[in-house]
Amino acid sequence: MATGAAVDWRACGSRFECATLDVPVDYSAPDGEQVGIAVIRRRASDPSSRIGSLVINYGGPGDPGTEHLRVAYTALPEEIRAHFDIVSFDPRGAGDSRPIDCVDDATYEQAASEDVTPDSEQALAGFYDGSAFSVDLIGACILRHGSWLARVGTRNVARDLDRLRAALGDRQLSFLGYSYGTVIGAVYAQEFPTRVRALVLDSAVNLATTPEQRQRGNAKGFEGALDAFLADCATDAQCAFHSGGDPRAALLRLRDRFEGGLTLASNDLRVVGVSEFYVGMLAALYTPHLWPTLAEALRAADEDGDGDLLRALADSLLGRREDGTYDNIQEAISIINCADRPSDRVSFDAFRLMFDDLSRRFPVLGPAFGGSPLGCDPRLPLPATTEQLGDVRSRTVPPVLIVGVTHDPATPYDGAIELHRRLHGSRVLTLDGTQHTAYSRGIACIDGPVDRYLLELVLPRRGTRCGL
């Protein structure tokens, strides 16, 4: 059993403690080069009833948990905060754990503001070969980080997680993984089944799908969420973007204006254009809680020429902080995915066919999803076979609780069913809804069963499902 390195905790504000855990860059050479993993925790509020640590990963891949936990801690149910030290970490390649940070913030901001939808055959070719953009992000990543880009895959993150478990002094791991965090949890279950106490895997990535299927699933999911938002707005006269009962027509007109070159001012003097229109919408479509904000953002842009809310929504998805710096999650996602599943770049003809199909089937958001060619840049270093994701499954892990949302726009519900098949003895808890992730959002019929499982290791009844 891995003992892990000792960590020195230090106070880092608001009753949190921070530390750095050294782990091997290459687990086939455990005594070789080490990398520091940034860790944060908040101790159990009732130490006398402490069960252990609950380690949380918020997805991505590449979400910086040391930042995310600070804002998400109070959303956790009080009982969980009382009985567990709440812990998160920046996975290797993210946050403060030797991050995949390829360009400076000004350059990244410029790249993020460029049009995300090709508008002509020439532009489509430019999206394929990268000439449509002012910045070669992958090239910059390779130049800056080299072979490190092959070491950031999920198998290594799961091994880091086991080192963290040992350093925390826990004999077995209690883990909550959201979105891509479900992949980390599933890999941990495969590699270290006897070291699992409890795994809650919320909004699972489908481990059986191809990149093409995932791209289609995302386009379908977010277009479906957009349709639901527009339908809800059309029937609610109080919706800010009601537009006389036809918000879809108003949205298409606004889209055409942005595609035609419309730019708006924002209060920080940055320009709001077509990229912020699409990215801001995507950010809000993760959860119906943001639909009123999206409605006001679209109204303000359409009627007042005010881009502040669209800009704020886009910033939230792009990881822009209040001081103007960015986290590195958007730079890391594709690198980590390619470290997990290296695949050849599709041909231009296949890219064009996919773009045309998604644009036809999902007319608002399809072009934004279809503008990214599938496959990995051939310049990226290849990870060792032992570090690639491969076939993830376990028949010996203790019972795992999987949470799925029926109309999740980002990780479709069939991912929860597929993960259930792969983890023997697992149980699926279902929420009927249109949102990404369900636990710790104040939904009693989800929080209650998850809390009981984490506290008492009791699974909900088979087939348990509930609505908002």
Give the catalytic positions in this structure.
Answer: 179, 408, 436
Structure tokens belonging to residue 24: 């091997």
H or E stretch covering 404 = strand 401-405
Evaluated on CA atoms 49, 51, 53, 54, the torsion sign reads negative
| Alpha carbon distance 250, 370 (integer Å) | 23
| Alpha carbon distance 207, 204 (integer Å) | 8
Structure tokens belonging to residue 45: 């509020």
SS (H, E, C) 110-160: HHHCCCCCCCCHHHHHHHHHCCCCCCCHHHHHHHHHHHHHHCCCHHHHHHH
| Alpha carbon distance 263, 272 (integer Å) | 5
3-state DSSP assignment of residue 60: coil
Neighbours of 409 (CB within 10 A): 25
* HSE (side-chain half, CA atoms, 13 Å) at 266: 18
Phi, psi for 423 (deg, rounded to 5): -110, 100
Which of 198, 183, 157 is CA-nearest to residue 37?
157
Q: Maximum distance among all alpha carbons in the chain?
A: 67
